Amino acid sequence: MGDKYRFIGKATPRRDATEIVTGGTRYLNDIQMPDMLYGKVLRSPHPHALIKRIDKHQALALPGVKAVLTWEDVPDWRGGTPRHTRVLDRKVRFVGDAVALVAAATEGIAQEALGLIAVEYEVLPAVFDMEEALKPDAPQLYEEYPGNRVTPGMPFFGLNSLTEIVMGDVEQGFGQADVITEGQFGYENLPNPLPPEPPGAIALWEEPNRVTVWVSNQASYMDKITLYHVMNRHVETRSIGGPCGGSFGSKFMSWQVQSYAALLSRATGKPVKLILTKEEHLAVFTMRPASRMRAKVGMKKDGTVTAVEGTWLVDTGYYSMTTQAQVAVGCGEVQIMVRCPNWALQPVIVCTNRNASGIVRGFGGQELKCMLIPLLSLAMEKLAIDPFEFLKKNYVKPGDGYVWRDGNWYTYRGVDYAAAMEKGARTFGWKEKWKGWLKPTAINGATRRGVGVGVHGNADIGEDASEAYVRLHPDGTAMLFSCVTEHGTGQRSNFIKMVAEVLQLPLESVSLAPADSLINPYEFGPAGSRGTYAIGAAAIRAAEDAKGKLFELLAPLLKTRPEELDTADGIVFVKGNPEQKIPWRAMSIDRTITGFGRFEPDYTLSNCMMSFVEVEVDTETGKVTLLRVVNATDVGQVIDPPGLAGQLNGCLGSGGIDSAIFEETVLDRSTGHILNANLIDYKWRTFPELPTIDNVVMETPFPSHRFHAVGVGEIATSPGPSAILMAISNAIGTWLHAYPATPERVLAALGTLSHGEKKRGGA
């Protein structure tokens, strides 16, 4: 389809490519300022304690130390949903909670000062399990959350924010079922998406109540808004976003790190840089919420799901900023995956004494589907239903409806993804490889192979508002104003391509303004695969608006009407007579033209990714080897082929497929300490271990924007974990329902086999 476009669908160089590969890109840690200080955080060794006394005199006496701040020295700034978590508090609630902040002339001095702060704690009982935390006698983390139950609902989503799925009549639905299955399933693994660059910020406080923050973040304009509310709406905040060394969702919210830097700058009057160490990044920053579901489903022989009923426990850790939003989106996404008229799914968000949960790719839906698909698989096994056929049948079809995150009903108006799914199945060879439930595709001595399939999609491709300006200059160039940081995906270059396509300007004639909230209009940020549709639509509309204003200005000079004009390469011409033309400079050297574009939320479209996997399991060692992945999707129109391939090939890590194999944060649930907060014990896949990955990408035009495209980057990782557990279960002939499938868990599952008989149940 790219043949009809000049730039869209073509492989074009990224605007920032040369700077990145030559080391010219200035990341946050490259920024230096006159008299800049360095911040460090003293952290709690206890998961739950009251601070009885802090002695900071020795630290303050150390030469080079400029400030030491404790909970007694700072204003009552709070974050979370609702805002309940103080930026510094007398009570610490997890191992790694902030106790004191230090600013010094060098990082070394700041680090030394941390060791000179004496703290006396009153250690309190801690709780690390969701169900234990809900018991009447459990330790209580917040007065605001009796029983450790977090207030449901996301005010940002509106008054009717989705907090549960209740519709139809589940009892009637179960009465219509041919099979009912039930059980408890979990996605309790805590994989860290681990972007290479740790979270950080530089802050400069300016009197009386103004602060500028330089951030390494996925959505820098939202940092401005978040900090404004954290600071009790009394501080004028400006955010400047630079290149972000990856995010994978996790750096969308870094309000605490940014607040620490701002407080230290406020205390010293100097710019303060505070960047987490990699150990801090692993041990104290946010990660995916843990989930546990006890539920039952009803299913007919033809694969129709008649009812889903259950409780979804969500461990948010010691506080919640986005967990309510993840629950709302997850409840919407599961309706897209399973066409079922009868639901009674009740989420419960729980506080525990571990580090906080936050955004990770797959936002709510991955957690829920990684539990629900194994439960549905039990019903499919009883009815001998092919899981590929089941997922294809049940994925949302044009005309179907669902309740989305805002509590409103939407009718899906996108394409039918069945064609992409079928093409993916053919590419994978699913029909030939599928032998039935709990049956390996091949056995070679101690090794067995198995296959699995998963699916994921998200109507948040059209979430939230975006705004953009496009300014035309008389020299035949244009500038896009959109507060978008580069977080590793190349989307800034893609927005330039869209504007260049609308204006028919060479790519080098279009530039993009820095991600500075002072000069750019509102931008939610590239979350939930919304970049291509939502942000792209705003940029396209701004370019179209600017072009229309240009034609209105120049039409009298060409003695025609604006609608009779077109433009290319900085020349405006009459459509039927291209020789009748004038250059953009005819607008006058003392004039620019600015167009405005805005995107309003649209939840009537969804993307889709189906992933097929094949694994090999060594039944003697329990080792799981991922042999092949086939990803199948329909994007409407490819914007940038290399960028799309990079996103799909990134399906393995960052909380994706490998979170079902070995990516795991190991929490000592007796002490609250994370045991593998380093890059040796935290297991990642290396390049020599990459499996074969084939991507099937169809281009069926979507009713989205001018280029009929939808984004898929965020969901590339999401179908994989449940597909992996399905494949392993089929390979070894018994159900495995624990993430990740470490050798110990695989061997434990194999230990349930007796005399070659297959046993049912979790592992």
pLDDT in tens, 284-322: 999 899 999 999 999 999 999 999 999 999 999 999 899
pLDDT category of residue 758 using cuts at 50, 70 and 90: very low
Q: Please enumerate in sequence order all residues whose Cβ is within 8 A of that of 607, keeping only pairs 6 or more positions apart, or say none.
A: 457, 458, 461, 529, 633, 635, 710, 711, 712, 715
Could you give the CA distance from residue 532 to residue 280 in angstroms, rounded to a whole number? 33
Q: Give Cα separations from 425 to 193, 366, 459 (angstroms).
A: 29, 21, 24
Q: In the prediction, which pLDDT does 370 show?
A: 96
Query: Scanning the structure block, which residue is given the tokens 């797959």?
Result: 362
Pairwise CA distance, residues 153 & 571, whole Å: 52
How far out from the chain centre does Cα 700 lie? 25
For residue 22 the two structure tokens come to 């030559």
The SS3 of residue 99 is strand
User: What pLDDT, on a 0 to 100 scale, did the predictor assign at position 713?
Assistant: 86
Q: What is the per-residue pLDDT across 679-722, written as a single tens digit (0 to 9) for each?
A: 899 988 888 899 999 999 999 999 999 999 999 988 999 999 99
Residue range 210-224, pLDDT digits in tens: 999 999 998 999 999
| Tally of CB atoms within 10 A around 444 | 9
552-593 pLDDT, tens digit per residue, is: 999 999 999 999 999 999 999 999 999 999 999 999 999 999
- For 294, counting Cβ atoms within 10 Å of its Cβ (0-12 exposed, 13-18 middle, 19+ buried), the class is middle
* Tokens coding 42: 């003293």
Instruction: Quick: pLDDT tens for 639-648.
Output: 999 999 999 9
Alpha-carbon gap, residue 204 to 264, rounded angstroms:
9
Residue 643: per-residue pLDDT: 93
Q: Which two tokens stand for residue 257?
A: 């790190």
Helices (H), 565-703: 641-649
CA distance 192 to 189: 10
Domains of the chain with bracketed CATH: 2-26+464-599 (3.30.365.10), 31-124+194-284 (3.90.1170.50), 290-461+604-750 (3.30.365.10)
| pLDDT beyond 80 at 621 | yes
Confidence tier at 755 by pLDDT (50, 70, 90): very low
Q: Does position 605 have pLDDT exceeding 70, yes or no?
A: yes
Q: Which tokens is 459 given?
A: 């109507």
User: Would you state the pLDDT for residue 752?
Assistant: 55
Residue 627 has, within 13 A of its CA and on its CB side, a CA count of 17
What is d(CA 67, CA 111) in angstroms, rounded to the nearest whole number?
13
How confident is the model at residue 320, as a pLDDT?
86
pLDDT at 2: 46
Q: How does DSSP classify residue 675?
A: S
Cβ of 621: how many Cβ atoms within 10 Å? 12
Q: Give 343's strand partners.
A: 167, 308
- Mean of the pLDDT values across residues 376-389? 98
Using 50, 70 and 90 to split pLDDT, how confident is the model at 192? confident
Amino acid occupying residue 110: A
Mean pLDDT for all residues in the chain: 95
Closest of 312, 617, 305, 727 to residue 735, by C-alpha: 727
Higher pLDDT, 654 or 676: 676
Nearest Cα to Cα of residue 681 among 282, 284, 286, 288: 282
Minimal CA–CA distance to 241: which of 482, 24, 80, 460? 482
Q: Is the distance from CB of 362 to CB of 328 less than 8 angstroms? A: no
> CA 190 to CA 179: how far, in whole Å?
33
pLDDT of residue 597: 98
The whole-number pLDDT of residue 763 equals 38
Helix (H, G, I), strand (E, B) or coil at 710: coil
d(CA 406, CA 324) in angstroms, rounded, equals 12
| Percent with pLDDT over 90 in the chain | 88
Helices (H) and strands (E) in the chain, counts: 18, 32
Q: Look-up: residue for tokens 């989305």?
A: 404
User: pLDDT over 70 for what percent of the chain?
Assistant: 98
Q: How confident is the model over 436-476, as pLDDT tens digits?
A: 999 999 999 999 999 999 999 999 999 999 999 999 999 99
SS (H, E, C) 239-276: EEECCCCCCCCHHHCCHHHHHHHHHHHHHHCCCEEEEC
Q: Which two tokens stand for residue 266?
A: 């406020």
pLDDT tens digits for 162-183? 999 999 999 999 999 999 999 9
Tell me what pLDDT residue 739 has: 94
